[in-house]
Amino acid sequence: MSRIKPESRNILNFIRDILSRLEMTPQELVAIGERIYGQRWKTPFAQSIGLSRETISRMAHGHRPIARQVETAARLLDQNVNAAKYKERRFGAKGESVTLRKGENWAHLIHCNSVEYIPSLDGSIHAIVTDPVWPKALDCLAGSDNPYQLLTDVLRKLPESLDIKQIVIHLRCDGDPRILCAIPHCFPFLRFAWLPYAVPSPQGRLLISGDVAYIFGTPPKAANGKRLLPGHPHPDYCPHAKPSKGSTNHPCSRSLEHVEWMIEKFTEPGSTVLDPFMGSGTTGLAALRRGRNFIGMEIDPNFYREAVNRLREG
């Protein structure tokens, strides 16, 4: 087969071209389509590569041979889809900051776009604990139009010199875990944790009964009482956990009890924790309460101010 140089042609012609060559299974095609566009993938997939929906549908049902290299095509498409930048919502975040102290620990809060600010971080940061803008997040949040790209950009721009050991991603139980593709491969998956709410509440037909956390990286050192890496807080530990909606002005702030538990179990005492999407500062508050230092970034001036006030009041 002659080599195809993608750069020498229009990308759609290139994809159409390779579609018509080798073969792949219908299951692979469906998996790739859903991976890019979700459950209703056929129409946008067909449009992206200039075929009719009917043709794609036939391929998905095995009625027509499918080009093996659709996989390559889909990978290119995937890059294309993800490369669609999130809308830059400029909030005038210019990097002003404040440092607060509590006993031996400190918290440094920065009003900035973390994508722009993160490459300039230096010193030691040991863990990231964050609740990123998640797929389907409220439209009012910056970055909500392409949360995958936002998280990918932030994590890829982390300077290697920081020597980060753990990444903890906190999502609501209906948060789409496919956002975790943004985690760099050098952080191995460690475990999943279930963070139950004391009082579940329905949202449409879904029972929102807790949050979840995905932990990557190396486990913190074992110590007395810390030999196991638990998968959920003991019920006695957070009897009142609920999304702290109402207790802050942030539309989706997290339970302080849950975040404290994660910091306690999955980061080292005395370490520095980074939250590039700190919102109303729940991670910062939890870090100080658990004897960690904290660096937090927030792009929205209202949430930034809220975080500063919350951490000042302790």
Ligand X SMILES: C[S@@+](CC[C@H](N)C(=O)[O-])C[C@H]1O[C@@H](n2cnc3c(N)ncnc32)[C@H](O)[C@@H]1O
Residue ranges that bind ligand X, judged by CB under 6 A:
113-115, 131, 133, 141-143, 150, 250, 252-254, 277, 279-280, 282, 297-300, 303
CB of 137 to ligand X, least distance (A): 6
CB of 292 to ligand X, least distance (A): 16
CB of 295 to ligand X, least distance (A): 12
Residues 255, 242: Cα–Cα separation, whole Å: 6
Amino acid sitting at position 231: G
Q: Which residue lies nearer to ligand X by CB, 67 or 168?
A: 168
CB of 27 to ligand X, least distance (A): 35
Q: How many residues does the chain have?
A: 314
CB of 191 to ligand X, least distance (A): 21
What strands, in cross-sheet order, belong to the sheet with 96-102? 96-102, 105-111, 293-298, 272-275, 127-130, 166-172, 206-217, 189-203
Q: Mapped to the 3 state alphabet, what secondary structure does 148-204 carry?
A: HHHHHHHHHCCCHHHCCCEEEEEEECCCCHHHHHHCCCCCCEEEEEEEEEEEEEEEC
Secondary structure letter of residue 238 according to DSSP: -
Q: Which residue lies nearer to ligand X by CB, 13 or 302?
A: 302
Identify whether the C-beta of residue 292 lies closer than 8 Å to the C-beta of residue 284.
no
CB of 1 to ligand X, least distance (A): 43
Q: Which residue lies nearer to ligand X by CB, 69 or 248?
A: 248
Q: How far is CA 286 from the centre of its chain?
A: 20
Q: Which residue lies nearer to ligand X by CB, 92 or 188?
A: 92
CB of 79 to ligand X, least distance (A): 21
Closest to 20 measured CA to CA, from 52, 66, 59: 66
Identify whether the C-beta of residue 275 lies closer than 8 Å to the C-beta of residue 66.
no
Residues 276, 87: Cα–Cα separation, whole Å: 18
- Cβ-closest residue to ligand X? 279
Residues 94, 117: Cα–Cα separation, whole Å: 9
Q: Which residue lies nearer to ligand X by CB, 45 or 214?
A: 214
Q: Which residue lies nearer to ligand X by CB, 217 or 279?
A: 279
Q: Which residue lies nearer to ligand X by CB, 48 or 282?
A: 282
